[in-house]
Amino acid sequence: MAGQSKEAALPPWGNAVAGAAGAVLANALVYPLDIVKTRLQVQMKRDPNAVDLNPADGQHYTSTIDAISKIVQNDGVKGLYAGMPGALIGVASTNFAYFYWYTVVRTFYLSYQKLPKPPSTTVELSLGAVAGAIAQLFTIPIAVVTTRQQTQSKLERKGMLETAKDVVNSEDGWTGLWRGMKASLVLVVNPAITYGAYQRLREYLFPGKQNLKPWEAFFLGACSKALATIATQPLIVAKVGLQSKPPPARNGKPFKTFVEVMQFIVEHEGLLGLFKGIGPQIMKGLLVQGFLMMTKERVELMFILLFRYLRQLRAEKLQKLADVAAAKAAQARPVLIK
């Protein structure tokens, strides 16, 4: 299988670096969509009959284009990149951790199989969920800080460390940096569905093909992410609600659970409120996952070629040392007189 051969050729850190590099490049390219989807998702009504306003600028966004134009109008073009350093650090660390642990647990599973066959869809999803859960434990504080930066007005917006201090001082102490942890752990099904679907689609559409073309990797990544986003959008909205400042209707009282966020949204906006921001969310997901997998495939190939070259150099060096040792042994051997 293509996935097995690559995992055998690369150490876990090689897959992790490839995944992190792809994630940083992809998210940097489409970051304005991340701002828009986050602000649309925290846009909540004061009561069922009110217009939902955005906490960052007090305006109402009707669509992705409308959000972009109003953000630029209020904050300038740089407003579309608010919180970008923290976000890129977050996606780099999350994807590094995810791909590292995904490679470890998948390789471990395959090494203990009696028959060399691909994991079932259920097993693939389970492996992805385990890797995602481990990754979330280490990286969720960055996501909390980034979400807070993205949903603050330009007058309130601070750097990463200052924002983190505000979260610690104004809420639940250090545990505030892990706000939304339960929702995040539930949301590990998103990358699990994404990469499980990616593996399945790859095996079905490109069986036995080790190195995909850029457009093939982009297509598979986009399709798999779209499926995962549609399935988990209500949880994504709830997680953003947990990690941002509470809406005015809460009178400063933060949400405690993602179920509480979902109940509030349904009460004030109806069931469709759980899918707000799904347009830019899917658009961002399609582009990010497409570019991510396309870049990851190229970086993996570069690593494989590099490791192959280094192994060849090492083999040649060892062979030269062996030849020198053999020559010295031949010179030292006594000559027999007939």
- 47, pLDDT greater than 70: no
Find where tokens 């994404």 sit: 194
- 45, pLDDT greater than 70: no
**What is the predicted pLDDT for the residue at 2?**
40
Q: Per residue in 54-88, pLDDT tens?
A: 666 777 888 888 888 988 988 888 888 888 888 88
Find where tokens 């330009």 sit: 154
**Number of domains observed in the structure of the chain:** 1
CATH of the domain at 37: 1.50.40.10
- 49, pLDDT greater than 70: no
Give CA separation, 290 vs 193, 221, 240, 250, 277, in Å: 15, 5, 23, 38, 20
- 24, pLDDT greater than 80: yes
- In degrees and rounded to multiples of 5, residue 113 shows phi and psi of -80, 140
- 20, pLDDT greater than 60: yes
Q: Which range marks the domain in which residue 126 is found?
A: 2-332
User: Is residue 338 one of the residues assigned to a domain?
Assistant: no
- 52, pLDDT greater than 80: no
User: Is residue 132 one of the residues assigned to a domain?
Assistant: yes
- 338, pLDDT greater than 50: no
Core vs surface per residue 31-44: b (16+ CB within 10 A) or e: bbbbbbbbbbbbbb
**What is the predicted pLDDT for the residue at 3?**
42
**What is the predicted pLDDT for the residue at 144?**
84
Q: Per residue in 275-328, pLDDT tens?
A: 888 888 888 877 777 777 777 777 777 777 777 787 888 888 888 888 888 887
User: Is residue 22 one of the residues assigned to a domain?
Assistant: yes
Q: How many CB atoms lie within 10 A of CB 121?
A: 13
Q: Per residue in 74-126, pLDDT tens?
A: 888 888 888 888 888 888 888 888 888 888 888 888 777 765 666 776 777 77
Q: How many CB atoms lie within 10 A of CB 282?
A: 18
pLDDT averaged over every residue in the chain: 78
Burial of 283 (0-12, 13-18, 19+ CB in 10 A): middle
Q: Which residues pair with 42 in a beta bridge?
A: none
Q: Comparing 28 with 285, which gets the higher pLDDT? A: 28
Q: Give the whole-number percent of the chain exceeding pLDDT 90.
A: 0
Q: Per residue in 199-225, pLDDT tens?
A: 788 888 888 777 778 788 888 888 888
User: Is residue 337 one of the residues assigned to a domain?
Assistant: no
* 3-class secondary structure per residue, the chain: CHHHHHHHHCCHHHHHHHHHHHHHHHHHHCHHHHHHHHHHHHCECCCCCCCCECCCCCCCCCCHHHHHHHHHHHHCHHHHHCCHHHHHHHHHHHHHHHHHHHHHHHHHHHHCCCCCCCCCHHHHHHHHHHHHHHHHHHHHHHHHHHHHHHCCCCCCCCCHHHHHHHHHHHCCHHHHHHCCHHHHHHCCHHHHHHHHHHHHHHHHHCCCCCCCCHHHHHHHHHHHHHHHHHHHHHHHHHHHHHHCCCCHHHCCCCCCCHHHHHHHHHHHHCHHHHHCCHHHHHHHHHHHHHHHHHHHHHHHHHHHHHHHHHHHHHHHHHHHHHHHHHHHHHHHCCCCCC
**What is the predicted pLDDT for the residue at 46?**
55
